[in-house]
Amino acid sequence: MKFSTPAEVMQHALALAQRGRGSVEPNPMVGAVIVDRELRRVSEGYHARFGGPHAEAMAIAAADEIPHGSSIYVTLEPCAHHGKTPPCAEAIVRAGIRHVVIGSRDPARHGTVSGVNVLRSAGITVETGLLAIPCKLLIRPFRKLKRTGLPYIHAKWAMTLDGRIATRTGSSQWISNEQSREYVHQLRGVVDAVVVGKGTAEADNPQLTARPPGPRNATRIVFDTRATLRHDSKLFQAVDDYPVLVVCGENASVENISRLEAAGAEVFRSPVDEEGRPDVVPVLEHLGQREMTNLLIEGGAGLLGSMLDRNAIDEVHVFIAPKLVGGRHALPSIGGTGIAEMPNAIPLEQLRTDRFGDDLFVSGLVGNKTYDE
Ligand SMILES: NC(=O)c1ccc[n+]([C@@H]2O[C@H](COP(=O)([O-])OP(=O)(O)OC[C@H]3O[C@@H](n4cnc5c(N)ncnc54)[C@H](OP(=O)(O)O)[C@@H]3O)[C@@H](O)[C@H]2O)c1
What's 19's domain CATH number? Answer: 3.40.140.10
Tell me if 239 is assigned to some domain.
Answer: yes
Q: Say what the pLDDT of residue 231 is.
A: 87
Identify the sign of the CA torsion 196, 370, 356, 48.
negative
Tell me if 237 is assigned to some domain.
Answer: yes
Q: What is the pLDDT of residues 173-229, one digit of tens each?
A: 999 999 999 999 999 999 999 999 999 999 999 999 999 999 999 999 999 999 999
Tell me if 21 is assigned to some domain.
Answer: yes
Report the SS3 class of residue 193: strand
80 and 208 part of one domain: no
Judge if the beta carbon of residue 249 lies within 6 A of ligand 1: no
Identify the sign of the CA torsion 119, 120, 125, 131.
positive
45 and 81 part of one domain: yes
Average predicted confidence (pLDDT) for the chain? 96
Judge if the beta carbon of residue 118 lies within 6 A of ligand 1: no
Ligand 1: which atom is nearest the Cα of residue 157?
3
Q: What is the pLDDT of residues 87-133, one digit of tens each?
A: 999 999 999 999 999 999 998 766 678 999 999 999 999 999 999 99
Ligand 1: which atom is nearest the Cα of residue 159?
1
Tell me if 372 is assigned to some domain.
Answer: no
Judge if the beta carbon of residue 224 lies within 6 A of ligand 1: yes
Please choose, from the candidates 47, 175, 144, the residue with its C-alpha nearest in 3D space to the C-alpha of residue 365.
Answer: 144
221 and 312 part of one domain: yes
Q: What is the pLDDT of residues 273-310, one digit of tens each?
A: 999 999 999 999 999 999 999 999 999 999 999 999 99
- Predicted TM-score (pTM) of this structure: 0.96
Average pLDDT over residues 264-269: 98
Domain boundary at 138, 167, 187, which?
A: 138
The answer for residues whose C-beta is within 8 angstroms of residue 365's C-beta and 6 or more apart is: 137, 140, 314, 315, 348, 349, 350
What's 188's domain CATH number? Answer: 3.40.430.10
Parent domain of 351: 148-366
Whether residue 344 is predicted with pLDDT greater than 90 in this model: the reply is yes
95 and 166 part of one domain: no
Distance 147 CA to ligand 1 centre (A): 29
13 and 107 part of one domain: yes
52 dihedral zone (left: phi>0; alpha: psi -120 to 50; beta): beta
Tell me if 152 is assigned to some domain.
Answer: yes
198 and 302 part of one domain: yes
Q: Say what the pLDDT of residue 373 is.
A: 53
Report the SS3 class of residue 173: coil
Tell me if 292 is assigned to some domain.
Answer: yes
158 and 100 part of one domain: no
Tell me if 180 is assigned to some domain.
Answer: yes
Q: 178: which DSSP letter?
A: H
Judge if the beta carbon of residue 45 lies within 6 A of ligand 1: no
Average pLDDT over residues 311-318: 98
Closest-CA residue, ligand 1 atom 8, reads 300
Encode burial over 110-120: b for 16+ CB neighbours within 10 A, e otherwise.
eeeebbbebbe
332 and 274 part of one domain: yes
Tell me if 103 is assigned to some domain.
Answer: yes
